[in-house]
Amino acid sequence: MVDVANTGPGPDDRRATLTDRQGHPIYDNQNQRTVGPRGPATLENYHFLEKISHFDRERIPERVVHARGTTAFGYFESYGSWGEEPIERYTRAKLFQGRGKRTDVAVRFSTVIGGRDSSECARDPRGFAVKFYTEDGNWDLVGNNLAVFFIRDAVKFPDVIHALKPDPVTFRQEPNRIFDFMSQTPECMHMLVNLFSPRGIPADYRHMQGFGVNTYKWVDAEGGTHLVKYHWMPKAGVRSMTEEDAAAIQATELGHATKDLYEAIERGDHPEWELLVQLMSDDEHPELDFDPLDDTKVWPEDQFPARPVGRMVLDRNVSDFFTENEQIAFGTGVLVDGLDFSDDKMLVGRTFSYSDTQRYRVGPNYLQLPVNHAKNADVRTNQRDGQMAHYVDRAGENPHVNYEPSITGGLREAHYPTHDEQGPVIEGRVTRKRIPRTNDYLQAGQRYLLMEQWERDDLVRNFGALLAQCDRPIQERMVWHFLLVEDDLGLRVGEALGITPADVARLEPLPGQELTDEDRKRLGSLG
């Protein structure tokens, strides 16, 4: 019989010595301390108890959404201008100034609904979150691979996610719950037409677009503002999968997209995206048939051209998945000088939600962790203590002063940027109202008409397969919506379900639903 405790390193073994977190060398990592070789164990087994109790706490809560994801690092390089026109005419953000200016980035790609070990073949939006470590502090651009979203008001976010997540009783993602919610939420039609098309299952993360989705602002040197939307275009092109492709991959590999990205970067095939922006003057644009702050809409590129502003290359994998992927924290509130929020009602909700969940998920000092720390800027705060504080953000010259204002060596406020903001003046009564110009069907129909025939066939097949598992009133309401989106879509999904326009002609618009003249004309033609 071999006595394991005696098989340790010989005197010539030069490898580093295992210790506990107190720095004590571990002489035996194979056997607990016991009374005799068969036990019982003793309670002062410090190494054993530390080892097990730390292991017991290895998991932090996974993200409530986007739990499955992977992170890589690289750089963003600014183009500095569009032809003759410098970008600084529109934003004073330093990372866009000058051709070839580089900024370090971290990017986390993700799925939304599944848990952290779930399949990457799911039909699900993909997250595309970029952290720019700029000299003015961090900027997070937290986007998705689809250009629009399900809802336009943050108050509905927990509902849409609950409907999409597994049933609280069966713990199965149930089409009946998903389409129950969606059928009562006409604003999600544009997203659904995207999500159930082949675009709903990207082939992997390297062949995927990214969109900021929400509307932000750019601020110039004088404080003038423009509305802006961001788009990432992969240099390698966009690739998607059908349900059959996805099923075949999923049969053998749940994390194919993480594997693909990791392996590409390891072999030096560094993925690259171009960043483009669409700009609009900062006002309500009454001439448009949609609200520029509505994240269920895209901005037509013939009126608002997409202008390239830089490129991003990912050339480094994580050195540790937990500290750099699980603990990385993005948020829509994380902006730098020259970039701003718009009044988009989703954006304000997101901005609260991200840092709120991260204080819970990672802890109140999550911004001290290396992956989240504003490593290229000076961080000097009067924030102190809290769980897991492991250093004091460099303070002023007097360590006794952790408050402001002070004349005894504390920190002072920054010199205010040259000009105050000059965005539009806003007046209004406090209210709870949906935005005007909801126009929920037009762009969804345009998207359908832009698809190639095989994409439409795939979309109809996907809707048909899931709606076949739903209750009849839900099926009828969805067919009603699809007929308003585009006749062909409604007729084809209806046919798959045995529902004719005449069957749904009796349905009234949903409570409070605003229809356009075009919508009413379509409704009139039912039956």
Residues with catalytic annotation?
A: 66, 144
Tokens 């019989």 — which residue? 1
Residue 385 CB, shortest distance to ligand HEM, in Å, is 23
Closest residue to ligand HEM using C-beta atoms: 127
Residue 153 CB, shortest distance to ligand HEM, in Å, is 8
Among 349, 364, 464, 509, binds ligand HEM (CB under 6 A): 349
Instruction: Name which of residues 385 to 444 contact ligand HEM (CB under 6 A).
Output: none
The yes or no reply on residue 361 touching ligand HEM (CB under 6 A) is yes
Distance CA 99, CA 117 (A): 41
Tell whether the torsion through CA atoms of 222, 226, 230 and 231 is positive or negative. negative
Supply 351's token pair: 């901005």
**Total residues at the site for ligand HEM (CB under 6 A)?**
28
Residue 367 CB, shortest distance to ligand HEM, in Å, is 12
- Peptide bond before 364: cis, by omega within 30 degrees of 0? no
The yes or no reply on residue 66 touching ligand HEM (CB under 6 A) is yes
Instruction: Name which of residues 25 to 64 contact ligand HEM (CB under 6 A).
Output: 63-64
The answer to whether the beta carbons of residues 303 and 271 sit under 8 Å apart is: no
Q: Which is nearer to ligand HEM, 62 or 455 (CB)?
A: 62
Q: Which is nearer to ligand HEM, 75 or 366 (CB)?
A: 366
Q: Which is nearer to ligand HEM, 210 or 310 (CB)?
A: 210
Among 219, 264, 277, 346, binds ligand HEM (CB under 6 A): 346
Q: Which is nearer to ligand HEM, 212 or 501 (CB)?
A: 212
Tokens 């209750």 — which residue? 471
354 is annotated as contributing to ligand binding: yes
Helices (H), 112-172: 157-164
Q: Which is nearer to ligand HEM, 65 or 312 (CB)?
A: 65
Distance CA 163, CA 427 (A): 36
Q: What are phi and psi of 86, to 5 degrees?
A: -70, 145
Angle at 384 between CA 381 and CA 385, to 5 degrees: 150
H helix count then E strand count, the chain: 14, 12
Residue 69 CB, shortest distance to ligand HEM, in Å, is 5
Q: Which is nearer to ligand HEM, 63 or 477 (CB)?
A: 63
Collapsing DSSP to helix, strand or coil, 210 comes out as strand
First to last CA, the chain: 86
The answer to whether the beta carbons of residues 297 and 443 sit under 8 Å apart is: yes
- Name the nearest CA neighbour of 120 among 255, 299, 317: 255
- Name the nearest CA neighbour of 513 among 431, 440, 442: 440
Burial grade of 245 (CB within 10 A; 0-12, 13-18, 19 or more): middle
Residue 131 CB, shortest distance to ligand HEM, in Å, is 9
Distance CA 315, CA 152 (A): 35
Helices (H), 19-149: 46-56
Supply 85's token pair: 């026109």
Residue 254 CB, shortest distance to ligand HEM, in Å, is 18
Residue type present at position 198: P
Give the range of 93-101, 342-350, 443-451, 465-473 binding ligand HEM by CB under 6 A. 342-350
Q: Which is nearer to ligand HEM, 78 or 351 (CB)?
A: 351
Among 97, 242, 357, 446, binds ligand HEM (CB under 6 A): 357
Instruction: Name which of residues 282 to 321 contact ligand HEM (CB under 6 A).
Output: 295
Residue 357 CB, shortest distance to ligand HEM, in Å, is 4
Distance CA 57, CA 50 (A): 11
Strands 126-134 and 137-144: antiparallel
Residues 157-176: x where in contact with ligand HEM by CB under 6 A, - otherwise, as a string: x-------------------
Among 354, 441, 448, 480, binds ligand HEM (CB under 6 A): 354
Count of CB atoms within 10 A of residue 422's CB?
Answer: 13
Residues 102-141: x where in contact with ligand HEM by CB under 6 A, - otherwise, as a string: ------x-x----------------x-x------------
The yes or no reply on residue 445 touching ligand HEM (CB under 6 A) is no
Instruction: Name which of residues 191 to 230 contact ligand HEM (CB under 6 A).
Output: 213
Strands 307-317 and 69-78: antiparallel
Q: Which is nearer to ligand HEM, 215 or 402 (CB)?
A: 215
Residues in touch with ligand HEM (CB under 6 A)? 63-66, 69, 108, 110, 127, 129, 142-144, 149, 154, 157, 213, 295, 328-330, 346, 349-350, 353-354, 357-358, 361
Binding-site residues for heme, in ranges, read 354
